[in-house]
Amino acid sequence: MRDSYGADIVFINPGDRKYIYQELGSDYSAIEPPFWIAAISAYLRNNGYDVAVIDINAESITSEELVRKVEQIKPLLIAVIVYSSQPSASTQNMTIAENICKVLKEAVVCKVAMGGLHPSALPEQTLKEEAVDFVIEGEGQYTLMSLIDVLKSNSTNFAQVPGLWYHDSGEIKNNPVAPLSDNLCELLPVAAWDLLPMDKYKAHNWHCFDNIEHRVPYGAIYTSLGCPYGCIFCCINALYGKPGIRFRSPEIVLKEITLLVEKYNIHNLKIIDELFVLNKKHYMAIVDMLVQRGYGLNIWAYARVDTIEPENLKRMKLAGINWLALGIESANPEIRDGVSKRMRLKDIKSVVRTIQDEGIRVIGNYMFGLPDDTLDSMQETLDMSMDLNCEFANFYCAMAYPGSKLYEIAVSKNWQLPKRWADYSQHSYEMISLPTKHISAVEVLKFRDDAFHKYFENPSYLMMIESKFGIRVRKHIEEMTKTRLKRRLLEEVDLSLNTNG
Ligand code: SF4
Write out pLDDT tens, residues 344-403: 555 889 999 999 999 999 999 999 999 899 999 999 999 999 999 999 999 999 999 999
120-146 mean pLDDT: 97
Ligand 1 centre distance from Cα of residue 161 (Å):
30
Q: Could you give the CA distance from residue 316 to residue 447 in angstroms, rounded to a whole number?
A: 36
* Mean per-residue pLDDT, 307-314: 96
Can you tell me the distance from the alpha carbon of 313 to that of 283, in angstroms, rounded to the nearest whole number?
11
- Homologous superfamily (CATH) of 2-174 is Cobalamin-binding domain (3.40.50.280)
Q: Answer yes or no: is pLDDT of 236 > 90.
A: no
CA distance linking residue 234 with residue 195, whole number of Å: 31
- Which atom of ligand 1 lies at the shortest distance from residue 237's CA? 7
pTM above 0.95, yes or no: no
DSSP state of 45: H
CB–CB of 114/135 below 8 Å?
yes
User: Rounded to whole angstroms, how far apart are CA atoms 273 and 302?
Assistant: 7
Band (501; pLDDT cuts 50, 70, 90): very low
The answer to whether residue 1 scores a pLDDT higher than 70 is no
| pLDDT score of 343 | 53
Residue 336's pLDDT band, with cuts at 50, 70 and 90, is: low
Percent of the chain with pLDDT over 70: 92
Task: State which of 232, 234, 306 you would mutate to test the pocket of ligand 1, scoring each by most atoms of that ligand within 8 A of its C-beta.
Answer: 234
Determine the atom of ligand 1 nearest the C-alpha atom of 275. Answer: 5
Burial class of residue 41, CB neighbours in 10 A (0-12, 13-18, 19+): buried
CB neighbour list of residue 28: distance below 8 Å, 6 or more residues apart: 21, 204, 205, 480
3-state SS assignment for residue 93: coil
| Averaged pLDDT, 162-190 | 95
Identify the band that residue 89 occupies on the pLDDT scale cut at 50, 70 and 90: confident
Q: How many Cβ atoms sit within 10 Å of the Cβ of residue 139?
A: 26
- Nearest to 93, CA basis, from 143, 40, 130: 130
Atom of ligand 1 nearest to the CA of 236: 8
262 alpha carbon – ligand 1 mean position (Å): 33
Residue 11, beta-bridge partner list:
53, 79
Tell how far the Cα of 340 is from the centroid of ligand 1, in angstroms: 9
User: Measured in angstroms, how far is the CA atom of residue 272 from the centroid of ligand 1?
Assistant: 13
What's the whole-number mean pLDDT along residues 405-434? 88
Residue list, ligand 1 pocket, CB within 6 Å? 227, 229-231, 234, 236, 274-275, 327
Ligand 1 probe mutation, 84, 274, 396, most atoms within 8 A of CB? 274
Give 231 Cα–ligand 1 centroid separation in angstroms: 6
Q: Is the pLDDT of residue 500 over 50?
A: no
For the chain, percent helix, then strand, then coil, each to nearest 5? Answer: 45, 15, 40
Atom from ligand 1 closest to the CA of residue 233:
3
Mutation pick for ligand 1 pocket among 236, 307, 339, 367 (CB with most ligand atoms within 8 Å): 236
Ligand 1 atom, smallest distance to 302 CA: 4
Q: Cα separation of 326 and 274, whole Å?
A: 11
What is the pLDDT, as a whole number, of residue 2? 45
Atom 5 of ligand 1, nearest CA residue: 274
Domain limits, the chain: 2-174
Instruction: Quote the mean pLDDT of the chain.
Output: 91
List, as one string, the DSSP characters of 188-204. Answer: S-S--GGGS-GGG-B--
Atom 8, ligand 1: residue with shortest CA distance: 234
Torsion over CA: 217, 222, 223, 227 (sign): positive
User: Residue type at 291?
Assistant: V
Identify the residue whose C-alpha is closest to ligand 1 atom 4.
274
> Which of 85, 90, 225, 227 most suits a substitution to test ligand 1, by most atoms within 8 Å of the C-beta?
227
Distances (CA, A) of 345 to 334, 337, 371: 12, 11, 20
Ligand 1 atom having least distance to the Cα of 329? 3
Q: Which residue CA neighbors atom 2 of ligand 1 most closely?
A: 231
Q: Which ligand 1 atom sits nearest the alpha carbon of residue 227?
A: 6
Mean pLDDT throughout 254-283?
97
Q: Which of 22, 138, 26 is nearest to 81 (CA)?
A: 138
Are 431 and 92 within 8 A, CB to CB? no
Ligand 1 atom at shortest distance from the alpha carbon of 340: 2
The values of phi and psi at residue 232, to 5°, are -70, -20
Per-residue burial over 277-291, b if 16 or more Cβ lie within 10 Å, else e, is bbeeebbbbbbebbb
